[in-house]
Amino acid sequence: MRPVRTIKLVARETGLSVHAIRVWEKRYGAVTPIRADNNRRLYSEEDVERLRLLHEATLAGHSISQIARASLGELQQLVRDPGSGRTPGKSSRAEATAETATQLIDDAIVAVESFDGRAIVRLLDRGAVELGSPAVLQKFIAPLAERVGSLWRAGDLSVAHEHFVTNHISEFLATFARPYSEDMSAPHLVLATPSGELHELGAVIVAAAARSHGWRTTYLGAALPVEEFAGAVGNLQPLAVGLSIVIPLEGRLLRRDLRKLRQLLPKTCVLLVGGRAAAEYQDVFEEIGAVYVARLEDLYPVLDKLQRGGRGKGKK
């Protein structure tokens, strides 16, 4: 009988997570393990070698969907010389597609699970090149943040995983669209998260999106008290301010803070609110005249309207 291994042992030998092995097996047919009498997956030495080579090839920039069914010889060639020839089965790299973004997200989740910072940096750079702006934000980075959040809420990722990917994405976005950020005549957007909201990646992504759209941005940080936020806005005098609400907060306190913030802000300053949990507070948004931005792609027409001198209008 040929030697076989359990999925946990394969994960240790290849550097992949158990989750990644299952995704590559189920979604892409990368390997076909046998099933033991107790229905456990068992992997052969050839399966382990395929997964090891696939892992190395994806870290070199190849998409798992395009190489999953390549032969061992083709995979060995890719790993020996990543720049040689075409990826097996790949038709073109000229145009970014939804499939490309999906692969980037899947590969990034694998990197997050193994705390592979170098792989995260490579994938972010690759996404910027292959997808361009603003698609890298809309199709890769924002959905990746949402996926990480979902896995964290489900208990499949730890707080450490979330902080790890947040730090790497924030560092990448700090220089995203840098040429626009130094134009002092550009319209100014100031962002923060409200008291109790410690998840700041949404606000950082919006700041990068606004910069790529020609705005100056200032991010004041997470869980900022209303009075400090309003005080900073008074000094900065932006055209608009933005709040990101990712987790459901204590409703009565948040509604109170939103009303108070609107009272403290200059009347000419537009208040934008978005984030995964923001929809729960639309009643108070309408009451105070805040603009609810449901999706990242909805932000751009709002910014355009504000720049032309009108109030942006998000989803009600």
**Arithmetic mean of pLDDT, 199-203:** 91
Question: Which domain covers residue 130, as residue numbers?
Answer: 95-176
pLDDT at 209 over 80: yes
pLDDT at 222 over 90: yes
**Arithmetic mean of pLDDT, 67-94:** 70
Share above pLDDT 70 across residues of the chain, in percent, rounded to a whole number? 89
- Summarised one tens digit per residue, pLDDT across range 144-170 is 999 998 899 889 899 999 999 999 999
CATH code: domain of residue 156: 1.10.1240.10
- Summarised one tens digit per residue, pLDDT across range 49-60 is 999 998 888 777
Please state, in angstroms and as integers, the Cα–Cα distance from residue 21 to each residue in 24, 27, 162, 234, following that order: 5, 10, 21, 52
User: Do 200 and 233 belong to one domain?
Assistant: yes
CATH code: domain of residue 222: 3.40.50.280
User: Do 274 and 259 belong to one domain?
Assistant: yes
Q: Answer yes or no: are the C-beta atoms of 293 and 281 closer than 8 Å.
A: no
User: Do 75 and 159 belong to one domain?
Assistant: no
Domain finish residue from 72, 93, 114: 93
User: Do 27 and 123 belong to one domain?
Assistant: no
Q: Please give the pLDDT value at position 240.
A: 97
Number of domains in the chain: 3
User: Do 101 and 87 belong to one domain?
Assistant: no
Domain finish residue from 49, 67, 93: 93
User: Do 187 and 302 belong to one domain?
Assistant: yes
CATH code: domain of residue 24: 1.10.1660.10
Please state, in angstroms and as integers, the Cα–Cα distance from residue 12 to each residue in 114, 125, 234, 243, following that order: 11, 27, 54, 42
d(CA 259, CA 136): 34
- The answer to the question of residue 299 being in a domain is yes
User: Do 204 and 299 belong to one domain?
Assistant: yes
Please state, in angstroms and as integers, the Cα–Cα distance from residue 23 to each residue in 26, 51, 282, following that order: 5, 12, 37
- The answer to the question of residue 303 being in a domain is yes
User: Do 133 and 76 belong to one domain?
Assistant: no
- The answer to the question of residue 315 being in a domain is no
User: Do 196 and 236 belong to one domain?
Assistant: yes
- The answer to the question of residue 313 being in a domain is no
Q: Please give the pLDDT value at position 181.
A: 41
User: Do 194 and 285 belong to one domain?
Assistant: yes
User: Do 172 and 192 belong to one domain?
Assistant: no
- Summarised one tens digit per residue, pLDDT across range 277-305 is 999 999 999 999 999 999 999 999 999 99
Q: Please give the pLDDT value at position 310.
A: 57
- Summarised one tens digit per residue, pLDDT across range 110-137 is 999 989 999 999 999 888 877 777 788 9
- The answer to the question of residue 4 being in a domain is yes
- The answer to the question of residue 215 being in a domain is yes
Q: Please give the pLDDT value at position 94.
A: 37
Backbone φ, ψ for residue 293 (5° rounding) = -110, 105
- Summarised one tens digit per residue, pLDDT across range 172-189 is 998 776 644 466 788 999
Higher pLDDT, 242 or 24: 242
pLDDT at 271 over 80: yes
pLDDT at 87 over 60: no
Q: Quickly state the pLDDT bin for 93 (edges 50, 70, 90).
A: very low
User: Do 190 and 281 belong to one domain?
Assistant: yes
**Arithmetic mean of pLDDT, 16-23:** 79
- The answer to the question of residue 60 being in a domain is yes
Mean pLDDT taken over the chain: 86
Q: Produce one character per residue of 37-59: b if its CB has 16 or more CB atoms within 10 Å, e if not.
A: eeeebbbbeebbbbbbbbbbbbb
- The answer to the question of residue 18 being in a domain is yes
Domain finish residue from 39, 67, 93: 93
Q: Quickly state the pLDDT bin for 95 (edges 50, 70, 90).
A: very low
Q: Please give the pLDDT value at position 130.
A: 75
On the 0-12 / 13-18 / 19+ scale of CB atoms within 10 A, 279 is: middle
Q: Answer yes or no: are the C-beta atoms of 142 and 201 closer than 8 Å.
A: no
